[in-house]
Structure 1
Amino acid sequence: MTDTLTPVLTDNWGDERAWTLAAYEARGGYDAMKKALAPEYGGPDALVQAVKDSGLRGRGGAGFPTGMKWGFIPQDNPKPKYLVVNADESEPGTCKDIPLMMASPHTLLEGVIISSFAIRANHAFIYVRGEVLHVIRRLQRAVQEAYLAGHLGKDINGSGYDLDVVVHAGAGAYICGEETALLEGLEGRRGQPRLRPPFPAVAGLYASPTVINNVESIASVPSIVANGADWFASMGTEKSKGYGIFSLSGHVNKPGQYEAPLGITLRELIDLAGGVRKGHQLKFWTPGGSSTPLLTAEHLDVPLDFEGVGAAGSMLGTRALQIFDETTCVVRAVLRWTEFYKHESCGKCTPCREGTWWLAQTLASLEKGQGSESDLDLLLDQCDNILGRSFCALGDGATSPISSSIQYFRDEYLAHLEHGGCPFDPTASTTFASEGASA
C-alpha cells in the first residue's frame, strides 16, 4: 500500500470542460470500452473474470465483490438482463458520486457500457437523487453525446452490441439508496425495501435478473479494463484492493475529495487536508457517513479498508469522513443524525418506524439535560431492539452513532444531565473536552 494519492477517477476533474465528450476522449476516453467490446478481449465472461481478479469490491458501502455479484446473473434465464446504477447518494457526509458525475459523467457512462456488456444487458438505468437537478442535466447531456457519437444505441461502434441508457430522477427518498427500494421507485411504486429472497440477481427490475452497483464501482471498471486486473489489485490491501474516493468534511482546513489506495489512514488524509483547523484537536469522526459507528482520535492510524475499520468496531461504508473537533457537542450531533433517520424511515417495519421516533425523543430529552443516567441504558435497550430486527439496514444505521457515542462519550451525556443542558460554550477558551471528558 502506497501512502500517496492515486488520482484515477479524479484525474481529469480539473481539465477544461472535463464533462464534455471531447475533453474525455482527448484523454483516451472510451478506449477501454472499445477494447472490451472487441472480440480479442474474450467477451462478457472474460470481463466478469477480469473484475473478479481485480478484487474490486462495491464502493457503495457494503463492500461486496463486484465481479461475484455479476456472476450471480443466471444467463439461462430467458428474461432480459438489466444494469441499475445507484446514484441516490443520500448518506449524511457522503459526497463522492455527485462530484464524479458532475466533473466526468462519461467516466460513469463508459463503465455502464462495459458492465452492461459483461452481464449481457441491453438496457441500463442510472437512478439519481431527484434534488440534484444539475447532475441530472449533466448526465442527460452526456448520454445524448454518447448516442450521437455511436457509443450508445444500436450496434455500438460496429460491435454488434446494443445498449440503451435511461437517466431516472428519483423523488428524494433516503430509503431509495437501499437497492430493492430503489427498484420499487424505478417501477413507479413507493420506495420501500422488498423481502428477499428472491434477490435482484434473480428477480430484480421488472422481475428480471438485475445487477445494482454504486456509481464509483461502475466508474472504476474502465480503468481495470484499460490497465489490467493486476494493476488494480496492486493498490490497496490484501483483502481490500484498489483505490477509492475519500470525502473529508467538517473541521479540516482543506475539505474535499481525496482519491487514495484503500488502507490509507485518517492521519495521512488529515495531513493531506492541511490538518484540523488551527488551535483545535480531533474529537470524533465517522469513517463511512453518519450510519457507521463513530470513532475517536485513538483510531487515527486504523487502516481505512473494510477489514481494518471493521476490526475497530465500525464500517468503512462510503468513506464519508466527517471530522469534528472539541467544540462539537457529540450529543447534539447524534441527535441531529437520529432526527434525520426518523424522518427518512419508510415506515414499513415497526422496529424502525417506532424505534427511530423513540430514539429521537429520548435523545432530545437528554440533550436538554432532562431525565436520568438510567435513560442511557434505556437508549441502548432501544438500539438493541432495533439492531438486526428492522426490514433493511436503515434501522441498524440509526443505532450506530448512538451506541458508539455512549461507548466513547458517556461522560458527556452525564454532563448534560448535571448542567441541565449542553455544557458547551464554543466561544469560551475552555471547552468541555479539555476538562477531562472522553474526547
Structure 2
Amino acid sequence: MREKLTAALLATLLVLAAGCKDDDNTQSTNITDETTAKAALDRVLQPMAQTLVGALKDLQGKSSPLKRSGLTVGSKRAAVKVTGSSSCPEGGTIAIDADLVGSVFTGSATLTDCGVLGVKLSGKLSGTLELISGGVRIDVSGTLTFSGLFSGSITIKRLVAELNGSTICYSAEIELVGKATITVGDGCGSKSDSTVDTSDANGDVDSPDAGPDGDSTVDTTVDTTVDTTVDTTSSGCQPRTPTVDLLEQNWLTTPTSTKFADRSTGTNTSFVGSKLLSGGNPGAYSRINTQLLPGPAAQIYVAVPVPGATYNPSTLGSIHSLALSMDISSINTGTTIQRFMLEQNGVVYWTPFMTSSGSGWMTVNWKDTDFTRASASGPSKPDFSGTAAQISFGFLVGHSTSNTIAVQNDRSHGTDNWQVKITQCVPGT
C-alpha cells in the first residue's frame, strides 16, 4: 500500500512539474515585418531609454578620475568622459562609453542580454542623448537582437525619441532581414488646433490667398546690426542678431519636386506635386501625393526645394546656427513622413523624419545639428563656414512599405508655414 501511494505521489509531482514547465514557455513573436517590428520597439523603447538614462546619470556621478574627468578652458567646457557598466531591470548589462559636453552625451551603449519587460536585448547603439526640458532626446543608430517575448533582429538606421517621465514618442527608420527600409513610430511634434479644409481634398482651387508682397519669391529679411554679447556655442563664433529669415507660406507657385533616387527603392512608385490656395494652416499650402503601385515592397522620397530659399555663406557670412520649422499634415490619407532638407555642392542633407496622421496640422522643429548626409556620397555634414558654397533649402516627403503591394497605396503630404531662421556669425569671431 505504501509503495502504491509513493508511486502515485511521484506521478502527481511529475505531472505538476510538466505543467509548470509549459507555463514558463511563453510564446515568442518573430520580428518579420513592419507590424511586429513596431510592436517590439513599442514594448522595449520606454524601459530601455529609462535604463540608459539611469546608467548615464549613475556613471556620470562616479568620482573615479578614470571614469569621469572634466576641464574648463575659458568659458568653454571640455568633454566629460563617462564609461562603465550598469545592470538592466531584468538581468543583463548595459555598457556606456560616452563623452558629455554641456547637456549632450555622445557615444555608444552596448547591451548584453539586457532584460526589460520580458525581452532580452543585445547589440550596440551609437549616437547622442540630450537633456531637454522635461526629459531627454535620443538620436541613435545600430542593431538590436531580441529574444524572449520577441525574437529577431532590427537594424536601426536612425531612431529619434523623446522621453518625458514615463511617456515616450519616437520615429525610426529600420531594416529587417530581407526587407526594404521601412519607417515606424508616430513621431514627436507639437500639434496645433487647426484642421485641414477637407473641401479642397480633390485639388480644386477656391479663392486666391495673396501674400503680403504678392510675388512667388521667398521673403528674405537681413539686418546688419551686430550683437556684441559673447556666446560660446559649438559653432565657435558669436551670434549676430536679428536673424535672416526664409519663409514660405503663400505658395503662389508650385515648387519643383523630383524623386530622390538615393533614398527611393523599387520602380513601382510615382508622385504628383501641386499647390492648393486654401485648406492650409491657414490659406495656401504645398501638397505632394505619393503612390506605391502594386508590386514588390518599395520606398519613395520626393525632394522639394523651396523657390528662392538660398543662402550663400561666402557672400553673406558664416552661419552660427539654424532654427527650422514647418507645419505638416497627412490630409486624411494615413501616416506620412516629412523631413527638412538642404543641398550644397550637389549633396543632399536631411533631418530626422517626423510623421503625421489624421486631418490636423502639426508644427515640427529641427536645428542645424540635426542634418546628416542623405545622398549616397559626399561630406557627412554641411559646411556653414564663411568660405562654404551656396545652400539651397527645402523639404522631403516619404512613403514606404516592407510588404508586397497588392493594391495601390496613396499618401498626401501637406506642408505649410515652412521657415528657416539663420543666425549669422559676427564677422571676425
More helix by share: 1
Q: Same fold (TM over 0.5)?
A: no
Length-normalised TM-score, structure 1: 0.19
What is the TM-score of this pair, normalised by structure 2?
0.19
Report which structure shows greater RCO (CA 8 Å, sep ≥6).
1
Larger gyration radius, structure 1 or structure 2: 2
